[in-house]
Amino acid sequence: MQIRTRLTLWYIGISALLLLSSLLFIYYSFRGHLWSEYYKTMQSKALMTVAMLVKNNPELGLHQHQNNENEILPSKENIIVYNSDFEKLFAFHQDEEVSKDILNSIKNKGELKFSMNSFDALGIRYTTNHDKDLIIVAKGVFMSEELLRLRRILAITFFLFLLVIAVAGYYFSGQALQPITRTMNELDTILPSDLSKRLLVGKNKDKLTRLSVTFNKLLDRVEDVFNIQKGFLSNISHELRNPLSSIISRIQVNLSHERTLDDYKFCLQSVMQDAEDLEHISSHLMQLARISTGSDKIIFGPVRLDEILWQAKSTILKTNSEYTFKFETSAFPENPEELVIYGNEALLKTAFINLLENACKFSPDHAAVIKIFPSSSQELAVEIKDNAQVIKDEEKEQIFKPFYRSNMNDKIKGSGIGLSLVASIINVHQARLTLNNHQDKGNIFTVYFIKDLNPAIQT
């Protein structure tokens, strides 16, 4: 069932229930009023009849009165009069009798409304001027032309309004769902080949407007992912093609004719270097993919930042002995326990290796300054300072994207994956990374860790 039909049926059902309740209230209120008037009229006729009988027959009640229809005004209702001993004294129709139980109830209660066969009856206890107790029973049939007419009017009104409500409900449900229909049609026009289109956002600050805004934000994220994917595929093909092409060309050249042993060694060394570059790129890409997709469960535990930095430094020096590192210990916490955070040791080591390598690689003196200090009572910061060319403000966000490389450093070998991997690792640890300039030359990368935060529990 379509939403429009469902809304229309709900609207008809609720409206019909409310309308029917209102019409029934009107009907029964008017019926109750007519019932009350009917009994008042019957009571008046009964009392008036008895008053006439008593006036014409002062001794009424001592003997049974025989009705002479010529002496009494004709009436559709039957009025029966009994004395206190339940003897019938008067009746329009002598063949009708009232049970003694009912007469006794009338005598005790003074007035009683009851049903008598298919008639509505009223019993009244009446005392004459001669202190004679009489029991008057007036009966008749409650027939009201006004009530029947009202019933027909209310029935016609109900079905007529139900028809109007059905048409109005179907129309207004369509109007209410029109923005959703428009949004669906707009979404159908958005294709993977062109994700730049966005949904129209209405001026009304309602739920549908918020839905369009949410869809647009989703499309922004999807477009960013597609753009990253396109750039990723383009860059990775370029980065992998260069070393592969170099390996193939060197091997082909050396296989073209006989070479000396030294030539073969030189070729193998070049191939080894290119293979190491390929291994370096593929390793970083796999780490970046695992962190981005969350396919592997990352285990966190207490680690000391100073120990991780020393391990990162030792790893770098094994392959780059010309790099130098300086640790500033003036701001070190006195208590070694304050250097402990929750994190994954292998990932943090990878992040700091990339930061330290970049600091030394792009600095003319191949040196980096490392500083650990508590930035606040809740945060522990690691600062890495280099002497490289200052990164421009417009590039400070771009350098953390995969395969992005600044034109200033195009002569220095690199893949453009390291800093994007660092950003992903820092994000996994719910830390924050800032980049500032150091006076006229040099950049400062600072990572802020929350001391008592366990990412494995918080995420």
Provide the CA 133 distance to its chain's centre, in angstroms: 77
297-458 adopts what CATH topology?
A: Heat Shock Protein 90 (3.30.565)
Mean of pLDDT over the chain:
78
pLDDT band at 175 (very low <50, low <70, confident <90, very high): confident
Of 1-5, 27-31, 395-399, highest mean pLDDT: 27-31
Q: Which tokens belong to 281?
A: 């790129």
Domain regions of the chain by residue span: 3-147, 207-292, 297-458
Q: What does the pLDDT read at residue 25?
A: 92
Instruction: Using the structure block, give the residue that is written with the tokens 């719910």.
Output: 430
Q: How far apart are CA 437 and CA 441, in angstroms?
A: 7
Q: In whole angstroms, how far apart are CA 189 and each of 101, 184, 208? A: 86, 9, 19
pLDDT at 229 over 80: no
Beta strands (DSSP E) in 395-442 are 432-437
Contact 17, 49 (CB under 8 A): no
Q: How far apart are CA 295 and CA 290, in angstroms?
A: 6
Q: pLDDT tens digits, residue range 417-427?
A: 678 878 888 88
pLDDT band at 98 (very low <50, low <70, confident <90, very high): confident
Q: How far apart are CA 442 and CA 215, in angstroms?
A: 42
**Rounded mean pLDDT, 8-35:** 88
Higher pLDDT, 81 or 402: 81
3-147 adopts what CATH topology?
A: Beta-Lactamase (3.30.450)
207-292 adopts what CATH topology?
A: Helix Hairpins (1.10.287)
Provide the CA 142 distance to its chain's centre, in angstroms: 58
Q: Is 286 exposed, middle or buried (0-12, 13-18, 19+ CB in 10 A)?
A: exposed
3-state secondary structure 316-358: HHHHCCCCEEEEECCCCCCCHHHHEEEECHHHHHHHHHHHHHH
Provide the CA 25 distance to its chain's centre, in angstroms: 40
Number of H helices, E strands in the chain: 9, 12
At residue 111, the 3 state secondary structure works out as: strand
Q: Is 95 exposed, middle or buried (0-12, 13-18, 19+ CB in 10 A)?
A: exposed
pLDDT at 80 over 60: yes
82-86, 160-164, 222-226, 295-299 — which is least confidently predicted? 295-299
pLDDT band at 21 (very low <50, low <70, confident <90, very high): very high
* Total residue count of the chain as it appears in this document: 459
Q: pLDDT tens digits, residue range 306-334?
A: 899 998 898 888 878 899 999 888 877 77
